[in-house]
Amino acid sequence: MTRASTLDFRRKTQGQNNWSGPLRPVNVIRNKFPTYKNGSNGIVIKFADEPETPSLKESVAEETADLLDRRQRLSVRELAMKFEKGLSTATLLSNEVKCKQVALLERDILLKNLKSVLESLRGQVAGKYKDEIEESVSMVDILAVQLSKRENELLQQKTEVTRIATSLKLASEDARRIVDEERTNARAEIENARAALQRVQKVLKEKENSSQRIGKQDVDELREKVQEARRVKMLHCPSKAMDIKSEIYVLRDQYAEISSSSAHLLKELELHQSFKENGVPSCELEGLESLGSMLRVVVRNDVALSNSSVQWFRIQPKGHKKEIISGATKLVYAPEPHDVGRYLQAEVNLGGETSVAKTAGPLDPAPGLVDYVETLVRNPETDYNVVVLQMNGIDQPTDSIHVLCIGKLRMRLAKGTTVIAREFYSSSMQGRRRRCAASDVLAAQGRPQLGVGFRDAQGAQLGDHARPEIRHRLQRKLRPFVFLDRVMGIIIAHALIFFLAGRRLSSPVQGTKLRGDTTKHTS
CATH of the domain at 342: 2.60.40.2700
Shared domain check, 489 and 385:
yes
Structural domain contains residue 492? yes
Three-point CA angle 252, 257, 259, nearest 5°: 90
Do 353 and 379 belong to one domain?
Answer: no
DSSP string, 39-52: -GGG-EEEPPPPPP
DSSP letters spanning 188-234: HHHHHHHHHHHHHHHHHHHHHHHHHHHHHHHHHHHHHHHHHHHHHHH
Average the pLDDT over 218-234 and give the result.
81
Give the chain's domain count.
3
Q: In the listed set 151, 176, 197, which residue is the last one of a domain according to the structure?
A: 197
* 507 plus 387 within the same structural domain: yes
Last residue of a domain, one of 311, 333, 358: 358
| 458 and 378, same domain (yes or no) | yes
Residue among 421, 487, 399 at smallest CA distance from 451? 487
Per-residue pLDDT averaged across 431-451, rounded? 53
Position 7 in a domain: no
Instruction: Report yes or no on 495 lying in a domain.
Output: yes
For residue range 409-419, list pLDDT tens digits in order: 888 888 888 88
Same domain, 512 and 374: yes
Name the amino acid, one letter, at 231: R
In this structure, the answer to whether residues 298 and 378 fall within a common structural domain is: no
> What percent of the chain shows pLDDT beyond 90?
1
pLDDT of 20 strictly over 60: no
* 113 & 162 share domain: yes
pLDDT of amino acid 27: 42
Last residue of a domain, one of 358, 387, 403: 358
Q: Say if residue 313 is exposed, middle or buried (CB neighbours under 10 Å; 0-12, 13-18, 19+).
A: middle
Which position has the higher pLDDT, 77 or 6? 77
Return the higher-pLDDT residue of 349 and 303.
Answer: 349
Same domain, 453 and 511: yes
Question: Could you tell me if residue 484 is inside a domain?
Answer: yes
Determine contact, residues 296/286, Cβ cutoff 8 Å: yes
pLDDT at 251: 87
pLDDT at 226: 85
In a domain, 242, yes or no: no
Q: What is the pLDDT of residues 470-508, one digit of tens each?
A: 444 444 444 443 333 444 444 444 444 444 444 333 333
Residue 46 scores a pLDDT above 70: no
Report pLDDT for 278: 59
**pLDDT given at position 466:** 36
More confident residue, 241 or 448: 241
Range of the domain at 347: 283-358
* Domain-located, residue 349: yes
Q: What is the pLDDT of residue 453?
A: 35
Q: Examine the domain organization and report whether 99 and 164 are in the same domain.
A: yes
pLDDT in tens, 362-384: 888 776 666 677 777 777 778 88
Average pLDDT over residues 355-365: 82
Q: Band the pLDDT of 311: cuts 50, 70, 90.
A: very high
Q: At what angle do helices 128-235 and 56-70 cross, to 10 degrees?
A: 10
What pLDDT, on the 0 to 100 scale, is given for residue 104?
Answer: 58
pLDDT of residue 41: 53
Residue of higher predicted confidence among 9 and 68: 68
Confidence grade of residue 90 (pLDDT, cut at 50, 70, 90): confident
Phi, psi of 332 (to 5 degrees): -110, 140
Residue 141 belongs to some domain of the structure: yes
Let me know whether 351 and 442 are in one domain: no
Q: Is 287 part of any domain? A: yes
Q: Specify the 3-state DSSP secondary structure of 518.
A: strand
For 389-431, how does the pLDDT look when each residue is reduced to its tens digit (9 = 90+)?
A: 777 667 777 777 888 888 878 888 888 888 888 888 766 666 6
Q: Is the same domain home to 352 and 395? A: no
Query: What confidence tens digit (pLDDT) does each residue in 158-216 have?
Result: 888 888 888 888 887 888 888 888 888 888 888 888 888 888 888 888 888 888 888 88
Same domain, 345 and 379: no
- For residue 312, pLDDT over 90 is answered with yes
pLDDT at position 359 over 80: yes
